[in-house]
Amino acid sequence: MTIPATGYQVSKKHVLLSEILAVTSVMRKNSRWASGAHTLTARDSALARDLGLRRSTPSTDIQKNGRLSQEADLMGGFQQLKRTIWDVDDIEALPLPGLIGPFFALIRSPLSNGPITSAALSALHSFFVCNLMSATSLSLEPALVELSSTVSHCKFEASDSSGDEVVLLKIMTVIHDCIVASSVGAFLGDVEICEMLETVLTTACQMRLSEILRRSAESTMVSIVRTIFGRLHALNPTAEESRLLLSEEESQHGEISMSLSANVTDAGHSPLQASEGVTSSTQQNAASLEDPEHSAAPEVEGPSQALSPPRPYGLPALLELLRVLVNILDPNDQVHTDSTRLTALGILNAAIETSGTVMGDYPSLSALILDPGCKYLFQLARSDNSLVLQAALRTITTVFQTMRTHLKLQQELYLAFSIDRLAAPPQLKPISSKKNNPTSPRPGTPATGTPILGPVDTELELDKGSPVPSRPPVQPARGDTRDLMLETLSQLCRHPSSMVDLYLNYDCDINCENLFERLIEFLTKGVYPWQYSSASDAQQLHSQYLCLDLLLAFVNDMTARAEGRSEPWPSDFILPDSLMQDKSRKKLVLTGAARFNSKPKIGIAFLEENKLIYSDLSPEISRTRSLAIFLKSCTRLDKRLLGDYISKPDNLELLREFLGLFDFKDKPIADAMREMLETFRLPGEAQQIARITETFASIYFASGPAEIKTEDAVYVLAYSVIMLNTDLHNPQIRKRMTIEDYQRNLRGVNGGTDFSPEYLQIIYDSIRKREIVMPEEHTGQLGFEYAWKELLARSRQSGPFLMCNSALFDLDMFKTVWKPLISAIAYAFISFDDDYVIQRAISGFRQCATLAGHFHLPDVFDFVVVSLSQATSLLSENLPTQVPNYPVVEVEGQSVTVSSLSVKFGTNFKGQLAAVVLFNIVNGNGNALREGWTQIFEMFQNLFMHSLLPTRMLQMEDFLGGVTMIPLRGGQHSRPAPRSDGGLLSALSSYLMTPYSASSEHLVPEATDTEVESTMCTIDCITSCRLDELYAQTIQLDSEALVAAIRALEALAHERTITKWKQESDELTTAFNTSSAGDGTFTLPYDPASVFLLETMVSITCQTSRYIEDLWPILFEHLSALLSASTHYSVLLIERAVVALLRLCLILAQKKTLRDQVYVSLDLIAGLPPTVANSVAEQIVAGVTLILQNRDIVSSQTEWNLVFAALRSTTSHPEAARSTFDLVLSFVTDGQSQWMTPDNFNGLITILDEFANSAGQSIMVPQRGRRVPSQPPPNAPPIERGRRAIDILYDMKRFIGPFAESTGLQTGQVWRQYCLPLALSLGKQSTNPSRLVRHTAISQLQRLLLGPRFVYDETDHGQVEEIFNSIIFPLVDELLKPQVQQFDPQGISETRLRASALLCKAFMHFEVRENRTKSDIRILWIEILDLLDNLINAGKTEQLYEAVSESLKNVVLVMNAANILVPPSQEDQRDEHQRTLWTATQARLERFLPGFLADVIPSPQLQLPPSTPVPGSASAVPATAPSTA
């Protein structure tokens, strides 16, 4: 920096005089200089001239004593300077070269020694400090030229090394003052800058000098470099480049060049030694390399003023310095040591740090950095010297940070190389020799320490089984080297847009690697421990932390872009859509290339299918040419396979098109062959080589090469080139082919003549100097050089490196890497103990969840949830169905269950963290969740089983008792166990065994204070998770997320019920003793978790009825599976399933499109086994009642039948039957609740019939110790309901007429649909075991049949016959059965009596009326007589006998009066029917009532006239009764 003038208060004249005195004093101390100090020689002829005197020429003796003369001249110079300035007040008015010339002369003089030169250099330093030498000094430019020459040509006699190094140190100080610390540096020219820089650089690199001097010189060099390269920011690049061209043609002040002496490390030379004629230094013998005259002190107005002033230094000097520094880095140059390279790296890094951002604007500078700068740096990145490696990596980082836009492919090379070295070696099979090395730049591990380059893309693994070009083996970096490289990689990729830049520049470029994907893959794997590493635990952990840090930085940057902190896409960039199209095409190309490498035909078919070939067909481009273009341009193909494929006989046309794509015009044949053989590997088969060579000869000869006369000559010459290349470069060949041998081999092949010696010499030299390297033979330094050449060729076409922190690609990037990314974060969260890392991992989880929601990627959100849920330890693989007896303690007035989970979770701090993070993420983001709901509800289930859920989530809703808590233990057994009749021994055994089981079941352990404390920690954590809020948010979910949640619940519930039953049932069937329920089937014990899952599922669904159409199929599948196998599960679970089904039906009833599902559900309920249905009867009737409150729900007879079928299952339950009966009663009772329709008429008959059956079933239950069943009292509820059901049945006849009228049915239809079912039901119940119900039914049946409202078609005798055959006859037949009599032995006689009366009255009503139809009643009548016969003989009671006889008498009389039953007479006028009927009746009656017919209807011979009454006719019947009556 420039020191202000105010820093010095002493006059500059005083400073100058003081420095003259200081220097001359040192000179006088030396005996040599002491004699010269008193010799005053009139050097100048000015005095003689002024006095008019003539000055003679010095004597020969004086001339001979040249050394003394030189010493005197040097001392005289200072005396002359003093006299000059003595009388001058303002010395700044004097030219600067005159003021400091004696100092320059002394420094340059070889006669000087170390102390004298040191004093002179100190004087120069003082002049800079006091601003004697400043930008305002007169003749500054010539003075600076002389200063540069002086410090660069400093000569003095060597003495002790320390004193000499002081001189060198002061030289460094003066150069630093001139360029950096004063204002004069800007006036230096390019040559002067180069001279000074070379002096400093040489000093810094002299290994024989002391460490402190070299480090001081290096520090000076760095400071100077920062200053001079800082000028690039102010220079005009265009003007400077023009000036550079001019300086190359014509230099102003000599050649602008710098170099380090080739023998700088030789200890026998002094620090500064001449090199390339520019730099000179002091030899140990102090011999001057210049003419002594040039060492004399100049005059005040010396020749320096005559020099033309230099232009200020600029690009030429900077370019020269950069060239020197870059050349030093060449690792193949054995002249320079690692120490020299280390110094050069530090200086180069300083230069790039200062001006790297603008170097790209200077083509000359950037070209030097690109090549060979980056080339050497990348080679040094493989150095085994840790210091060189660190410096190289630092410089590489600086280069990329400042010049990234110009180094696209160089950065690709370095990153791919770094990832290869850092990645863990895969445990794979040895690489087959058939697999290819890549062809685009990639670092590898050559034997000479040089990177091998070549492309590899892991994305090709998408195509399973397809071989891809294999990556060359790379020696993995270990120990400190690995840490250093990883730190460097981290530094390169920490910029917010780094990953975006990688993606859009490389992954979206078809010719580049998928670097973004490779980097993320490496980082995610790097988070896990590297099993193959020999590093210490601390190093490995550090490596894992770095990888995780980079991943989290990537997630953080993407989240920031998602939140709006992104950059707009520049308008001058390629369109993002075009980049994404390139990415898609790249993926197809990679897949196609992989398939081609596996099997060419399959690959070509794939390429054609995806329009990668044959899509550009035109008259100029054929199918073959289109394929050839792709094969030549695709760098991902196996070069060996490609050469083999195109040289097949069938592909000769393809080979011609392929080689036709090369431009061989004006190219020597060696270069043409080299270009061709770099695209594919020459096959090993001679015929294939011949085909390639012939085709090449044809195409090359067509390009018109000079001196070649025939195509055959090209063919032979091409073969000769291949053979020459092998001969000259195969290490196994000892005797190499000479040019004479080569010429001799080609005699006469050029159309019968020889090629010219010059022509063959050119070919020979080309092959000798540059081997034709076949693909996959690029190894070592040769391979690196080839790959680097390819990289430079590609870089000319690759375009600039695009940089933009845009969010346009984030979705595709995130979709590509989210799974391994989240897995790595989860592993870090679980495995690492560092608080900062855990906190970062938590932030990473949150941000991944945010991105999942932002991009609408539920799979990602699910994966986050799954990963976190595994870290919570709240997932249980084997959750028991039976909850142990956990202790319950009171803490602050709150009952707390101390369970195993609460204790374990309370001590798992990381699990608590994961739980809080998980539920905080899910809260409010439920719509982003899909499969993750399974883990959420699985944790809910586990917490429920351990009494850790909020109360709201433990409740179950019911139709009966409102809201109740889900019991954790199945203490109540709804289905009674089968009673054992084993007697006393069984009872004793049961008594003895019970206490042991009871003691283990009901023993409650004590909870310790530590366990209580852990449980309280768990409760606090669960409270922080806000589970009830999440549960409440489920009802606000969108359709897709809600369906996923319900599916998750159903899957968990299915696993604990249906799946579990099948598993355990299968296990038990193979066991020796199979445990089974009372009905012979295995029943799962009560599982509270299954009830919890079911209740949660149904509760959420009921509160989201708007999505019932989507949710119903899921729930119904589960519920139907449970209810279809209801005997296999606990009663509570089935009860909850029934309630759930009915609650859902209430919602379905509101949806017209789903109403049919209500009846599917009712049908499922109706199909429950009786024991199961009885246990859930109350819930069924309550649910159905609520459903039927919507009167629009039932609209058809089928639907009513399903409703009543479900209700029928409730009639045997004491409480449910009452509710069901009230419901049915409301249908038929007049009022607002009446609901009688033609559709539900028959259904009501059925349900009422069931109530009557239930009354009879109450008789059927056997009473202990009694052999005869007893009749319950008439007021018993079942009996009372049965009686009332019969009355309702009869009362329903009043609806028949209105229904018939409203429906317009014919009489026969009314009879069939209404009357007959009603009569059938009453007829059936007339045999009911309950006496009251039976008698009521037979009475109501008689009233119905004989009443006025009984509708039937009188013209249809078949209906009358059906009344008897379907109702009355079966009734009487049933009453005659012994088993019917057993239910009520005492009351059956009365029933039979009533049945006989009904039988006779019905016959008279339907068949013996006046307006009856003329039909044949003989069969019906005979059947009636048979039944009456059976009744009399079955009961054999006087009462029944009399009743039957009386009824029969009335029938006979009526039939006789109706002229149906007519006795024979003398004038027998009866028709055939009458005769037959009388005969049959008489014969039948005689069997059980002999003489009965004669008594009732006397024969005509005994008859009186009709007007005369027959006395005592009524008493005739008993007289003829059988004695057995």
pLDDT confidence bin for 283, thresholds 50/70/90:
very low
Q: Read off φ and ψ for residue 744, nearest 5 degrees.
A: -65, -40
pLDDT confidence bin for 579, thresholds 50/70/90:
confident
Amino acid identity of residue 555, one-letter, is V
Identify the helix (H) or strand (E) that includes residue 342. helix 338-359
Predicted local confidence at residue 394, as pLDDT: 92
Question: Which single residue is written with the structure tokens 């892991």?
Answer: 458
A 10 A CB-CB count for 1486 gives 13
Predicted local confidence at residue 154, as pLDDT: 80
A 10 A CB-CB count for 1479 gives 12
Predicted local confidence at residue 1503, as pLDDT: 44
Predicted local confidence at residue 548, as pLDDT: 92
Least confidently predicted of 217-231, 507-521, 737-751, 1410-1424: 1410-1424
Q: Is 95 helix (H, G, I), strand (E, B) or coil?
A: coil
Predicted local confidence at residue 779, as pLDDT: 60
**Has residue 1003 got a pLDDT over 80?**
no
The Cα 1491–Cα 577 span in angstroms is: 116
**Has residue 1521 got a pLDDT over 70?**
no
Report pLDDT digits (tens) over 793-819: 777 777 788 889 999 999 999 999 999
- What is the average pLDDT across 232-246? 84
**Has residue 203 got a pLDDT over 60?**
yes
pLDDT confidence bin for 1213, thresholds 50/70/90:
confident
**Has residue 295 got a pLDDT over 60?**
no
- What is the average pLDDT across 294-313? 43
Predicted local confidence at residue 249, as pLDDT: 64
- What is the average pLDDT across 185-213? 85
Predicted local confidence at residue 213, as pLDDT: 86
8 A C-beta contact, residue 1145 and residue 1187: yes
Beta bridge partners of 1488: none
**Has residue 479 got a pLDDT over 90?**
no
Give the tokens for residue 777: 């033979």
- What is the average pLDDT across 1379-1405? 84
Report pLDDT digits (tens) over 1276-1327: 888 888 888 999 888 888 888 888 888 888 888 888 888 889 889 989 888 8
- What is the average pLDDT across 892-920? 88
8 A C-beta contact, residue 1006 and residue 891: no
**Has residue 80 got a pLDDT over 70?**
yes
Predicted local confidence at residue 1299, as pLDDT: 85
Q: Read off φ and ψ for residue 311, nearest 5 degrees.
A: -75, 150
Q: Dihedral of CA 1037/1040/1045/1050: which sign?
A: positive
A 10 A CB-CB count for 1125 gives 16
Taking all residues of the chain, what is their mean pLDDT, rounded to a whole number? 79
Predicted local confidence at residue 1071, as pLDDT: 64
- What is the average pLDDT across 210-228? 89
pLDDT confidence bin for 966, thresholds 50/70/90:
confident
In the chain, the percentage of residues whose pLDDT exceeds 70 is 82
The Cα 1164–Cα 1184 span in angstroms is: 13
Q: What is the 3-state secondary structure (H, E, C) of 930-947?
A: CCCHHHHHHHHHHHHHCC
Predicted local confidence at residue 266, as pLDDT: 35
8 A C-beta contact, residue 848 and residue 822: yes
Least confidently predicted of 882-886, 998-1002, 1126-1130: 998-1002
Interior CA angle at 1328 toward 1326 and 1331, to 5°? 90
Torsion of CA 717, 719, 722, 726, to 10 degrees: -110
DSSP 1190-1205: STTS--SHHHHHHHHH
CB environment 705-725: b (16+ within 10 A), e (fewer):
beebeeeebbbbbbebbbebb
Phi-psi sector, 896: left (phi>0), alpha (psi -120 to 50), beta:
beta
What one-character DSSP code corresponds to residue 956?
E
CB environment 1031-1047: b (16+ within 10 A), e (fewer):
bebbbebeeebbbbbbb
8 A C-beta contact, residue 304 and residue 289: no
Q: Is 753 helix (H, G, I), strand (E, B) or coil?
A: strand
Give the tokens for residue 488: 């460097």
A 10 A CB-CB count for 1265 gives 5
Give the tokens for residue 155: 């000569």
Predicted local confidence at residue 520, as pLDDT: 92
Predicted local confidence at residue 553, as pLDDT: 93
**Has residue 938 got a pLDDT over 70?**
yes
Predicted local confidence at residue 1268, as pLDDT: 58
Give the tokens for residue 665: 């015009």
- What is the average pLDDT across 415-438? 59
**Has residue 284 got a pLDDT over 80?**
no
DSSP 1284-1313: HHHHHHHHGGGGHHHHHHHHT--HHHHIII
The Cα 1009–Cα 1020 span in angstroms is: 16
- What is the average pLDDT across 997-1015? 72
**Has residue 37 got a pLDDT over 70?**
no
pLDDT confidence bin for 473, thresholds 50/70/90:
low
Amino acid identity of residue 296, one-letter, is A
Predicted local confidence at residue 1081, as pLDDT: 64
Question: Which single residue is written with the structure tokens 């008859």?
Answer: 1503
Predicted local confidence at residue 1075, as pLDDT: 46
R_g of the chain, CA atoms, integer Å: 58
Report pLDDT digits (tens) over 1167-1186: 999 888 888 888 888 888 88
pLDDT confidence bin for 219, thresholds 50/70/90:
very high
**Has residue 519 got a pLDDT over 60?**
yes
Least confidently predicted of 126-140, 471-485, 709-723, 1499-1513: 1499-1513
Q: Dihedral of CA 967/970/971/975: which sign?
A: positive
Predicted local confidence at residue 440, as pLDDT: 36
DSSP 525-577: HHHS--TT--S-HHHHHHHHHHHHHHHHHHHHHHHHHHTT--PPPPTTSPPHH
- What is the average pLDDT across 360-385? 88
* Pairwise pLDDT comparison (302 vs 839), residue with the higher score: 839
The Cα 1511–Cα 595 span in angstroms is: 122
Q: List, in order, residues 6 or more apart from 545 with CB less than 8 Å away.
A: 832, 834, 837
Q: Which of 1037-1041, 1358-1362, 1495-1499 has the highest mean pLDDT?
A: 1037-1041
- What is the average pLDDT across 410-425? 84
Q: Is 714 helix (H, G, I), strand (E, B) or coil?
A: helix
Least confidently predicted of 869-873, 1038-1042, 1070-1074, 1227-1231: 1070-1074
Beta bridge partners of 963: 957
**Has residue 558 got a pLDDT over 90?**
yes
- What is the average pLDDT across 13-32? 80
pLDDT confidence bin for 59, thresholds 50/70/90:
very low
Least confidently predicted of 376-390, 558-572, 1397-1411: 1397-1411
- What is the average pLDDT across 1429-1457? 83
Least confidently predicted of 530-544, 666-680, 998-1012: 998-1012
Reported as half-sphere exposure (CB side, CA atoms, 13 A), residue 830 has a value of: 15
Q: Which of 183-197, 207-221, 761-775 has the highest mean pLDDT?
A: 207-221
Least confidently predicted of 2-16, 297-311, 471-485: 297-311
Predicted local confidence at residue 783, as pLDDT: 67
Reported as half-sphere exposure (CB side, CA atoms, 13 A), residue 427 has a value of: 3
Least confidently predicted of 567-571, 961-965, 1105-1109, 1463-1467: 961-965
Least confidently predicted of 842-851, 869-878, 978-987: 978-987
**Has residue 300 got a pLDDT over 50?**
no
pTM: 0.74
- What is the average pLDDT across 506-527? 90
8 A C-beta contact, residue 289 and residue 272: no
Report pLDDT digits (tens) over 310-337: 568 888 888 888 999 999 988 888 888 8
